[in-house]
Amino acid sequence: MARKKEVRPEEFTADPAAQEMITRAEELGLDTAFTRALDMVPCNIGGAGMCCKQCGMGPCRLTKEGQTGVCGATIDTIQARNFVRAIAAGSAAHSDHGRDLAFTLKAVANGQAEGFMIRDVAKLRLVAQKYDIPIEGRSPEEIANDLADLYIAQFGQQKGEVVVIRRAPPKRQKLWREQGVVPRGIDRETVEALHRTHIGDDQHYEHLLQHAIRTALADGWGGSMIATDISDILFGTPAPILGQANLGVLKDDMVNVVVHGHEPTLSQMMVAATQDPEIIEYARSKGAKGVNLSGICCTANEILMRQGIPAAGNFLHQELSILTGAVEALVVDVQCIMQALVALAERFHTKIITTSPKVQIMGATHIEFDEHRALSVAKEILKVAIDNYPNRGETHIPDVRSDLIPGFSHEYINYMLGGSYRGSFRPLNDAIMAGRIRGVAAIVGCNNPRSKQDWLHTYVTDQLLKQDVLVVETGCGAIASAKMGFLVGEAGLEKVGPGLREICETVGIPPVLHMGSCVDNTRILTVLTQMVEEGGLGDDIDQIPAVGLAPEWMSEKALSIGAYCVASGAYVIFGGASPISGMPDRVSDSDLVLRYLSEGWERIYGGKMEFIADPDEMIRRTLEHIDKKRAALGLPAYDPAKFGRGGDRRVLELETLPIAERRAALYGVPAK
Ligand code: SF4
Ligand code: SF4
């Protein structure tokens, strides 16, 4: 199809490796999400949340003043229903991931999961204690069995409160109880969200949006937190480790297997299987030096932060990896997997292998994962990939890769700030209170081909670091920052404001902390809770000078994350278009819901959700919010001139001086 507008690769993406592969796609006459987004003009009515297709009397498009749907539904009802459904889908995706891990933990505890073991017994005991599960004199398997039972029960629980909620600050729990938004059971809230949004049910936008909060809380303080806990218990709590990111991690002389999706269970087994002598020998028998495993999206983050397995890229790299011609198998599980992979792979030798019982794609090879025989399945998949190596044609691997240090779990942050015996969040709180760190920004979320890949992430990150804002990241946003060099220690010396630089030098950390995958946004909730517990920054999360941003969001999961962060007290800014923008210039009050997510939710929860397309405005509002929270706490106003005179910068300057001048500067002028 002839394209109306030609776009240069540099306009599609900030990533040089991606630019190279987009050029290759053009040369080969192949489409990618970048070009499809260009050809697919979004529907402005659906895009503004002004259409409803909840029943067979519609679809109804409300574009005229005073218009309602056939059933009489008003624009605010329709927008709120659409929004609740999106959050329910996002919450369900994260929570179902948590459920699968809970069943895996149960199988491991009972010796029924081939290849798995409990790697972090300390975390198992710590988590079990939070729920009063007895730990003394019991084996890890006994404790794990009880924890698995407790967690599995949270999904189908009908009444009461999901136990994970207890981990929020007490004041926040009280607020949730007063508002009637504590999740009763994880599945129940999602089911009720679908029920309430069926035709002829809940038709009051504020009441609908109250349930959006409850459904999202079942994700953040429910399914996602369960997923993070169990992943750490089974695969190890992350700690800093050296890794690499970008397509340049693919290898010309090895069998390249890329794992893509979200769940760590299969990918962890793939890591083990690639090191099996039988597999290495089999790869050699086909002419390769071995098997090179890498990841895309959150599966990448799971094995990157635990084993240092390289990340081939983030969401928009999935097609680009195939375009290298060097990938023998792209092994996918759940979420964020483009159907386009199969058609593209047909032009190369790459095999697309689906593995989840929940996800099949027409034309892909399906090898189903089963945790009871995990290692065997992983080896079977690797053999299919190895058998495919002789079919490889011409390759084109961009020579682009960046080092990064991922693995900043909340446990590690606690440790790094004080060591084994004095670990605490005190130094972080003190740095914020003094103004060395102005505040904290969590920059998370996806890529979206409707904006230049990685650019918004990295521009916003870059600007906030210069303003002494400490940045924590997860998901595809973290991989974007890795590709742009923000996740190494040197970035803490070169790319940050003077106060933050002192902290990075003293603690020895990058200025951007990679905290994991999308379900690991719950680690950020835990950090915020621990900052509250540490004291000095108020008695609830909404008082902390912190902001959450998802500059390039695209998935419903991102909306769920945003909503549970708002409910937890955070200001959350989404980039790009709002799914409920309305058209207030044509239909008055069609932005009622949009305004309610900001002003209404802030009145109740102290947090708010806003959609801001302009990155400079995102940065301005982030800093304004941080400064407002600082002032409310009675902290000194941020002053960039106050800090930064100490640290390595001065030492480096002194080292350039002639010896006499250096001595004079260091020790003063000797008495005559
Ligand atoms: S639920 Fe009402 S507004 Fe929605 S499609 Fe049916 S008739 Fe139209
Ligand atoms: S950040 Fe977004 S695109 Fe990336 S893996 Fe998570 S949900 Fe998918």
Identify which ligand lies nearest to the alpha carbon of 443.
2
Q: What is the 3-state secondary structure (H, E, C) of 61-99?
A: ECCCCCCCCCCCCCHHHHHHHHHHHHHHHHHHHHHHHHH
Quick one: 113 and 140 in the same domain?
yes
**What does pLDDT average to over the chain?**
94
Verify whether ligand 1 is closer than 6 Å to residue 59 (CB atom): yes
Quick one: 541 and 623 in the same domain?
yes
Q: Would residue 592 count as lying in a domain?
A: no
Paired strand residues for 440: 470, 546
Quick one: 422 and 571 in the same domain?
yes
Task: Return the residue matching tokens 């635990």.
Answer: 306
Counting from 1 in the atom list of ligand 2, the atom nearest the Cα of 444 is 1
Q: Would residue 582 count as lying in a domain?
A: no
Show the tokens assigned to 150: 């407790």
Q: What is the mean pLDDT of the segment spanning 499-521?
A: 91
Paired strand residues for 443: 473, 549
When pLDDT is cut at 50, 70 and 90, the band that residue 646 belongs to is low
Verify whether ligand 1 is closer than 6 Å to residue 61 (CB atom): no
What are the angstrom distances between the C-alpha of 631 and each of 438, 544, 545? 11, 11, 9
Quick one: 409 and 513 in the same domain?
yes
Q: Is 192 exposed, middle or buried (0-12, 13-18, 19+ CB in 10 A)?
A: buried
Which of 181, 211, 235 is where one domain is finished? Answer: 235
**Ligand 2 centroid distance, CA of 645 (Å):** 40
Q: Would residue 484 count as lying in a domain?
A: yes
Quick one: 372 and 269 in the same domain?
yes
Closest alpha carbon to 453 in 67, 100, 19, 39: 19
Paired strand residues for 28: none
Verify whether ligand 1 is closer than 6 Å to residue 58 (CB atom): yes
Quick one: 464 and 382 in the same domain?
no
Q: Would residue 607 count as lying in a domain?
A: no
Q: Would residue 521 count as lying in a domain?
A: yes
**Ligand 2 centroid distance, CA of 371 (Å):** 24
Range of the domain at 252: 243-391
Counting from 1 in the atom list of ligand 1, the atom nearest the Cα of 69 is 3
Q: Would residue 441 count as lying in a domain?
A: yes
Which of 198, 219, 235 is where one domain is finished? Answer: 235
CA distance 333 to 365: 12
CA distance 354 to 359: 7
Nearest CA to ligand 2 atom 3: 446
Quick one: 231 and 247 in the same domain?
no
Residue 479 has pLDDT above 70, yes or no: yes
Verify whether ligand 1 is closer than 6 Å to residue 52 (CB atom): yes
What would the pLDDT profile of 219-268 be if each residue is shown by its tens digit?
999 999 999 999 999 999 999 999 999 999 999 999 999 999 998 999 99
What would the pLDDT profile of 346-387 be if each residue is shown by its tens digit?
999 999 999 999 999 999 999 999 988 999 999 999 999 999
Paired strand residues for 611: 574
Q: Kindly report the CATH number assigned to the domain that includes residue 94.
A: 1.20.1270.30
Quick one: 335 and 414 in the same domain?
no
CA distance 349 to 17: 21
**C-alpha of 242 from chain center:** 19
Quick one: 95 and 206 in the same domain?
yes
Quick one: 128 and 254 in the same domain?
no
Verify whether ligand 1 is closer than 6 Å to residue 199 (CB atom): yes
Q: Kindly report the CATH number assigned to the domain that includes residue 266.
A: 3.40.50.2030
Give the total number of structural domains in the chain.
Answer: 4
Nearest CA to ligand 1 atom 6: 55
Element (H, E) at 277: helix 277-285
Higher per-residue pLDDT: 668 or 302: 302
**Ligand 2 centroid distance, CA of 475 (Å):** 6
> Could you please report the per-residue DSSP string of 383-421?
HHHHHHGGG-------S--EEE-B---HHHHHHHTTHHH
Verify whether ligand 2 is closer than 6 Å to residue 553 (CB atom): no
Quick one: 49 and 96 in the same domain?
no
Q: Would residue 644 count as lying in a domain?
A: no
Nearest CA to ligand 1 atom 5: 58
Long-range contact set of residues 315-318: C-beta below 8 Å, sequence gap at least 24: 315/446, 315/447, 315/476, 315/554, 316/13, 316/18, 316/33, 316/34, 316/447, 316/449, 316/453, 317/18, 317/247, 318/260
Quick one: 87 and 150 in the same domain?
yes
β-pair type (51-52, 60-61): antiparallel
Q: Best mutation site among 57, 85, 201 for ligand 1, i.e. most ligand atoms within 8 A of its Cβ?
A: 57
Q: Would residue 655 count as lying in a domain?
A: no
What would the pLDDT profile of 173-222 be if each residue is shown by its tens digit?
999 999 999 999 999 999 999 999 999 999 999 999 999 999 999 999 99
Which of 217, 235, 253 is where one domain is finished? Answer: 235
CA distance 486 to 464: 12
